[in-house]
């Protein structure tokens, strides 16, 4: 017999190891069938499970388990990302605790320390994914720095290098002084900044008393100015052609250049040009052959060229402003709001700096990926993200792929003392040109951007560049489920890599979801611990099934998800409801000799139509509908709609209505009817478990085994996903929309009668004498046929059908079946009840009077916070509704 209470901790601890040991997550290409492959967005090796992972992994696992139950050959590849900057930062912090810097132990020893850290701590998030219930194929787990993926990275770099799609050059990059490395554009988070505009005079050389005024948000870069620019069509400055201005504080003369980049209407129409510290200025400098003066060091301090050597950049800003003011160059300072870039890892404000870096030419790679989406070869869900994708891809900039750190894939470019440079996947023994030994050869010290390995993930994890059975069978993958926030970081680049190296898209569907936010819409952030919800805490308190199902139920793919701890009670309570229903079924099945749930684990239900009642047919129809709905929602990636559909059917139609209805038949003497009802219950409940398994794998597996739907070595995850009933079955059983409509009408009658009892203040134990003025003769005949079950449901001594409204006033309710009347004679003391209602009405009217007085008081309405005013308005509506309800009851008395 099943335990009285469901213990999710014990159940979840039991089933995950069982699934792994029985190979439930693993398929082989040799098995054939329809392939369904998915690669998990690899979490950082430094990471721990957060709500974003929980949502993303839950959506993927729901789809994976559904496809597995549909009979597809499933491959869900797990793995982790080496997370170059993040992991290096973690290990450097560990070293600092020992009083050591990485430069002191050297590159090789430091990399060894990172590998040691990874072996010790890198599996944390993998263990946590198991707690969530991920049915990933752990036999295929990959790491972006493992031998196979490293070989893929090296080959891709060398191929692109040889095609001249990878190049090295001096360009403006986003530089993080804290991490000491360049960042790609999409590794920079832009945040609102309340800054200032400093307006500075630049004297015109040779023109006494004449100057131009420029405005800047970064006065610390002023020593790097190599020109000022004006628009060639701006007549105000036409006389400055060929002139120079004096760079304040330096005594250096710099030219006035004329360039269309300058907007005449912006500010004074004159801008400072600092080619080494601004991307637009760099382009102007290229056009006018201007020198590039870098005035900063890698750590964010100023260098000797600045005149403020060794000073921090922000301290230098203050010093330069003070010197400008002292020298009479500062015209004015005004507040200015702008967006300032910050490192996505350490949140340090980044600088635009001239630096020699490695880049990938992206435009040639982007075109096939653009066309694939435009032609519908790859879909993006939700569709509104297509325009965002096109906009980014059509305006794509070259990708800075070099990083000045030690942890990661080292750039496979080698230089010989003879001057020859080449790329090769493996360390060379000699120079291919002059044949000098490896002692004369040096490798580029930089490593590749972490995303350079991640963009190969869909095919490198399947064995590429080797030709493997997995690559041949499972590529391209089917669904790429990920957060919309990494559409450009990762998804778009995977598209480009897929076409470049495999000749086809890496997946057929891009499925994007929003981020998880707090209940009041705030973004969850480590820098604000009060905003964080730990999924492991939710699993501990409620269960993994509760976390998964609740997330699915409250998550629309169209918008971000707002959560608080209370919302996870939904999933917990649903699991308890399912468990109690299973215990009820088990208890009643034991009363029937030879009854086995295993007979109802598939689709072959047989029923005696002569023993079927309309409520049976209603349940069968609703079960058929929910099977079709679930298939449709999964096909359209409407995970939330599927959760709502199965939740409503299981909780309302099955548990709340049919189980209650079936109790009388299960306790009756008619064994044929009892067996038929039990067969129907077993079949429909088996469908519920299978429909729900992708959402709640643990509780459904436990109940599937507890009731005996399968043998000890079988799993529900390999049971067929329900398809509903055949047309032959539906015709034979008399399933029709008319039956569905009638039972809905009957339920409306029962619900209305229960509500009327409660509104009339009747104790639950009292038996009523109900009167019904039916809406039609047909409804009356059907209700009369079901009178016994209806009387039981509403605790009625009798139900009398009448042709017109009673002459005496009494509580009533208009329902689909007609008008229900409730005589109170002998059930309540009408005089005492009337007095009680009068007092309650008077009390509420007093409250309402006070609120109306507040809302009509101009002083209150003008001064009180809007939230308080709205609260009072809401309370007024609530009180008015309560008073109207009580007055109706009073009138009926």
- Tens digits of residue pLDDT in 169-226: 888 888 898 888 888 776 788 888 888 999 999 999 988 889 999 989 999 999 999 9
User: According to the model, what pLDDT value does residue 58 have?
Assistant: 96
Stretch 24-50: mean pLDDT: 93
Nearby residues of 176 by Cβ (< 8 Å), 6 or more positions away: 182, 183, 343, 345, 346, 348, 350
The pLDDT of residue 558 is 83
Whether residue 762 has pLDDT greater than 80:
yes
Check: CB of residue 205 under 8 Å from CB of residue 248: no
Is pLDDT above 90 for 266? no
Residues in the chain: 893
| 532-538-540 Cα angle (round to 5) | 130
Confidence band of 29 (pLDDT split at 50, 70, 90): very high
pLDDT digits (tens, 9 = 90+) for 270-287: 999 999 999 889 989 989
Over residues 5-27, mean pLDDT: 97
The CA angle 419-425-429, to the nearest 5 degrees, is: 55
Residue 629 has pLDDT above 90, yes or no: yes
Per DSSP, helices labelled H in 145-278 are 147-162
What sign has the CA pseudo-torsion 230, 234, 236, 242?
Answer: positive
Average pLDDT on 676-681 reads 97
pLDDT of residue 525: 66
Residue 561 is predicted with a pLDDT of 86
- Based on its alpha-carbon atoms, the radius of gyration of the chain, rounded to whole angstroms, reads 36
117-148 tens-digit pLDDT: 998 888 888 999 999 999 999 999 999 999 99
Query: What's the confidence (pLDDT) of residue 445?
Result: 94
Strands 516-518 and 561-563: parallel
CB-based contact 549:574 (threshold 8 Å): yes
In 3D space, the residue among 450, 444, 441, 447 whose CA is nearest the CA of residue 420 turns out to be 441
Give 318's contacts (C-beta < 8 A, 6+ positions apart): none
Model confidence at 354, pLDDT cuts 50, 70, 90, reads confident
- The answer on pLDDT for 54 being more than 80 is yes
Residue 265 · residue 231 · CB < 8 Å: no
Whether 829 has a pLDDT exceeding 80, the answer reads no
What integer pLDDT is reported at residue 527 of this predicted model? Answer: 58
Instruction: Decide if pLDDT at 830 tops 80.
Output: no
User: Does residue 413 register a pLDDT over 90?
Assistant: yes
pLDDT digits (tens, 9 = 90+) for 445-492: 999 999 999 999 999 999 999 999 999 999 999 999 999 888 988 999
pLDDT at residue 526 in the model: 60
189-to-179, 343, 348 alpha-carbon distances in Å: 15, 6, 10
> Quick one: average pLDDT of 656-674?
94
In the structure encoding, which two tokens stand for residue 622, read together?
A: 């609703």
Q: Could you report the per-residue pLDDT of 60-86, keeping only the tens digit for each?
A: 999 999 999 999 999 999 999 998 888
pLDDT at 721: 97
- Note whether 438 and 446 are within 8 A (CB): no
pLDDT reading at 114 higher than 90: yes
% the chain with pLDDT above 70: 99
Q: What is the mean pLDDT of residues 301-310?
A: 94
The mean per-residue pLDDT over the stretch 545-549 comes to 97
Closest CA to 205 of 254, 250, 244: 244
Q: Evaluate whether 317 touches 218 at the Cβ level (below 8 Å).
A: yes
- What pTM was computed for the model? 0.84
Of 370-384, 599-613, 700-714, 829-843, the range with the lowest mean pLDDT is: 829-843
Rounded to the nearest integer, the mean pLDDT of the chain is 92
Q: With a cut of 70, say whether residue 808 has pLDDT above it.
A: yes
Q: Residue 356: helix, strand or coil by DSSP?
A: strand
């Amino acid at each position: 017999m099943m335990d009285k209470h469901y213990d999710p901790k014990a159940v979840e601890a039991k089933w995950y190891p069982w699934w792994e040991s029985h190979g439930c997550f693993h398929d082989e290409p040799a098995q054939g069938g329809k392939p369904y492959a998915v690669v998990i967005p690899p979490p950082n090796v430094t990471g721990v499970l957060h709500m974003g992972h929980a949502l993303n992994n839950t959506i993927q696992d729901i789809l994976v388990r559904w496809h597995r139950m549909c009979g597809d050959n499933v491959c869900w590849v797990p793995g982790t990302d080496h997370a170059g900057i993040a992991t290096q930062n973690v290990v450097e912090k560990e070293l600092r605790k020992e009083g050591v810097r990485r430069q002191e132990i050297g590159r090789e020893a430091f990399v060894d320390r990172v590998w040691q850290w990874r072996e010790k701590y890198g599996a944390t998030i993998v263990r946590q994914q198991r707690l969530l219930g991920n049915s990933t194929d752990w036999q295929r787990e990959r790491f972006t720095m493992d031998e196979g993926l490293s070989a893929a990275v090296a080959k891709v770099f060398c191929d692109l290098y040889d095609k001249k799609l990878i190049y090295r050059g001096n360009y403006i990059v986003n530089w993080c002084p804290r991490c000491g490395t360049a960042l790609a554009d999409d590794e920079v988070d832009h945040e609102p900044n309340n800054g200032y505009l400093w307006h500075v005079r630049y004297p015109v050389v040779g023109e006494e008393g004449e100057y131009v005024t420029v405005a800047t948000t970064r006065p610390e870069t002023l020593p790097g100015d190599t020109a000022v620019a004006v628009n060639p069509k701006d007549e105000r400055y036409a006389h400055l052609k060929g002139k120079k201005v004096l760079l304040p504080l330096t005594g250096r003369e710099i030219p006035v250049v004329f360039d269309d980049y300058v907007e005449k209407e912006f500010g004074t129409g004159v801008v400072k040009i600092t080619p080494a510290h601004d991307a637009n200025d760099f382009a102007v400098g290229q056009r006018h052959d201007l020198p590039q003066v870098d005035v900063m060091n890698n750590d964010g301090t100023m260098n000797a060229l600045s005149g403020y050597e060794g000073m921090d950049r922000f301290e230098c800003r203050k010093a330069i402003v003070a010197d400008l003011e002292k020298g009479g160059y500062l015209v004015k300072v005004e507040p200015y709001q702008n967006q300032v870039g910050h490192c996505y890892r350490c949140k340090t404000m980044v600088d635009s700096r001239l630096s020699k870096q490695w880049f990938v030419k992206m435009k040639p790679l982007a075109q096939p990926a653009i066309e694939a989406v435009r032609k519908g070869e790859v879909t993006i869900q939700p569709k509104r993200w297509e325009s965002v994708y096109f906009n980014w891809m059509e305006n794509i900039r070259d990708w800075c792929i070099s990083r000045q750190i030690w942890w990661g894939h080292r750039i496979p470019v080698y230089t010989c003392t003879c001057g020859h440079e080449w790329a090769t996947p493996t360390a060379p023994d000699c120079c291919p040109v002059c044949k000098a030994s490896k002692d004369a050869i040096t490798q580029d010290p930089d490593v590749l951007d972490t995303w350079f390995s991640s963009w190969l993930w869909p095919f490198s994890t399947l064995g590429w560049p080797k030709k493997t059975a997995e690559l041949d069978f499972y590529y391209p993958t089917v669904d790429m489920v990920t957060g919309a926030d990494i559409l450009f970081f990762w998804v778009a680049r995977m598209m480009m890599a897929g076409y470049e190296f495999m000749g086809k898209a890496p997946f057929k569907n891009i499925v994007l979801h929003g981020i998880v936010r707090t209940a009041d819409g705030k973004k969850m952030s480590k820098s604000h611990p009060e905003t964080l919800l730990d999924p492991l805490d939710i699993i501990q308190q409620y269960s993994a099934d509760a976390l998964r199902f609740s997330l699915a139920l409250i998550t629309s793919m169209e918008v971000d998800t707002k959560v608080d701890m209370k919302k996870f009670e939904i999933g917990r309570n649903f699991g308890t409801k399912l468990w109690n229903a299973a215990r009820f079924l088990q208890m009643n099945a034991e009363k029937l000799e030879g009854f086995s749930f295993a007979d109802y684990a598939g689709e072959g239900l047989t029923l005696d139509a002569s023993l079927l009642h309309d409520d049976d047919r209603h349940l069968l129809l609703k079960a058929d509908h929910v099977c079709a709905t679930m298939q449709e929602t999964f096909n359209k990636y409407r995970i939330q709609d599927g959760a709502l559909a199965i939740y409503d059917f299981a909780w309302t139609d099955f548990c709340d209505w049919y189980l209650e209805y079936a109790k009388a038949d299960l306790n009756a003497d008619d064994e044929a009817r009892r067996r038929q009802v039990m067969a129907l219950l077993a079949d429909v409940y088996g469908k519920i478990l299978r429909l729900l398994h992708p959402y709640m794998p643990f509780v459904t597996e436990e109940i599937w085994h507890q009731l005996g739907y399968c043998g000890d070595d079988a799993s529900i995850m390999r049971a067929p996903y329900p398809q509903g009933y055949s047309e032959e079955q539906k015709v034979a059983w008399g399933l029709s929309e008319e039956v569905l409509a009638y039972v809905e009408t009957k339920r409306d009658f029962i619900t209305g009668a229960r509500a009327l009892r409660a509104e009339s203040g009747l104790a639950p134990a009292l038996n009523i004498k109900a009167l019904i003025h039916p809406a039609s003769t047909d409804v009356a005949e059907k209700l009369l046929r079901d009178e016994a079950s209806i009387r039981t449901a509403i605790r009625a001594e009798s139900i009398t059908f009448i042709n017109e409204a009673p002459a005496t006033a009494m509580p009533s309710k208009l329902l689909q079946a007609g008008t229900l009347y409730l005589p109170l004679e002998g059930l309540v003391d009408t005089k005492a009840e009337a007095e009680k209602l009068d007092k309650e009405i008077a009390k509420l009217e007093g409250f309402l009077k006070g609120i109306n007085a507040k809302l009509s008081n101009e002083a209150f309405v003008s001064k009180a916070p809007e939230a308080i005013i709205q609260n009072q308005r809401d309370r007024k509506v609530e009180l008015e509704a309560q008073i109207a309800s009580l007055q109706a009851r009073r009138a009926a008395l």
